[in-house]
Amino acid sequence: MIELRTPAEIERMHEAGRFVASVLEATAAASAVGVNLLSLDRLAHDMIRKRGAESCYIDYHPSFGASPFGKVICTSVNDAALHGLPHDYRLRDGDVLSLDFAASVGGWVSDSALTIVVGTPRAEDLALIDATSRALDAGIAAATVGNRIGDISAAIGGVANAAGLTVNTDFGGHGVGRTMHGDPHLPNDGRPGRGLPLRAGLVFAIEPWFMLGTDKIYTDADGWTLRSKDGSRAAHFEHTVAITDNGPIVLSARS
């Protein structure tokens, strides 16, 4: 069911968004050569406890997951595109790391993601990260009253296509509210002028993710991590965005 949020509810979601942003900032700052992915998960878990928030991930068990996720943040490294399950791995120089985090504060959810390079970057990785970040910005700019879902999708896909990237539409953006994943699905490519009309009060997670050499993925043996079919590197950005009569508000904006 697609629901419209009141201005008061959007402000409460903004509170959750500020917390989610703070966790992503802290975990990104802590990511360095030699740091274990499990320590990043512990940092996020500690911040959840101190805030009195609730994890959206730890007990999450959708149909595409082999078991409850069991951790509180997704840590996707190099060819891991989405849903990276934290495990005993120490970050290496040049690793591409995507951090994806969602939490509930006072019963309202925010969901956000970013991608960084640990240590020495490669030019092609920086170009991929830049294109994915710009695709998020383009999607947000299209999230205006009077447009349609397809306009957001087309804006994201247009950036990808211009960068020579292909787009997987199996996973993408989604509605956000009392739960992390709600209707509607928001694919990362599409045709403008199609789909749900955008109205004030809609809140979405807009979520571009691209891989350098393919749009095909497979599930790792851990039952969660989605990896690029050809081993190429991936990048992922996401913000929770409210549509208002005065334009989109990024509820998970980082400082």
Per-residue pLDDT tens listing for the chain (255 residues): 899 999 999 999 999 999 999 999 999 999 999 999 999 999 999 999 999 999 999 999 998 898 999 999 999 999 999 999 999 999 999 999 999 999 999 999 999 999 999 999 999 999 999 999 999 999 999 999 999 999 999 999 999 999 999 999 999 999 999 999 999 999 999 999 999 999 999 999 999 999 999 999 999 999 999 999 999 999 999 999 999 999 999 999 998
Report domain extents, the chain: 7-250
Six-digit token string for 59? 């007990």
Q: Which residues pair with 80 in a beta bridge?
A: 227
pLDDT value for 64: 87
pLDDT value for 67: 93
pLDDT value for 1: 84
pLDDT value for 93: 98
CATH of 7-250, one of 3.40.50.1980, 3.40.50.2000, 3.40.50.620, 3.90.230.10: 3.90.230.10
HEC string for the chain:
CCCCCCHHHHHHHHHHHHHHHHHHHHHHHHCCCCCEHHHHHHHHHHHHHHHCCEECCCCCCCCCCCCCCCCCCEEEECCEEECCCCCCCECCCCCEEEEEEEEEECCEEEEEEEEEECCCCCHHHHHHHHHHHHHHHHHHHCCCCCCEHHHHHHHHHHHHHHCCCCCCCCCCEEECCCCCCEEEEECCCCCCCCCCECCCCCEEEECCEEECCCCCEEECCCCCCEEECCCCCEEECEEEEEEECCEEEECCCCC
Residue with structure tokens 């959840």? 48
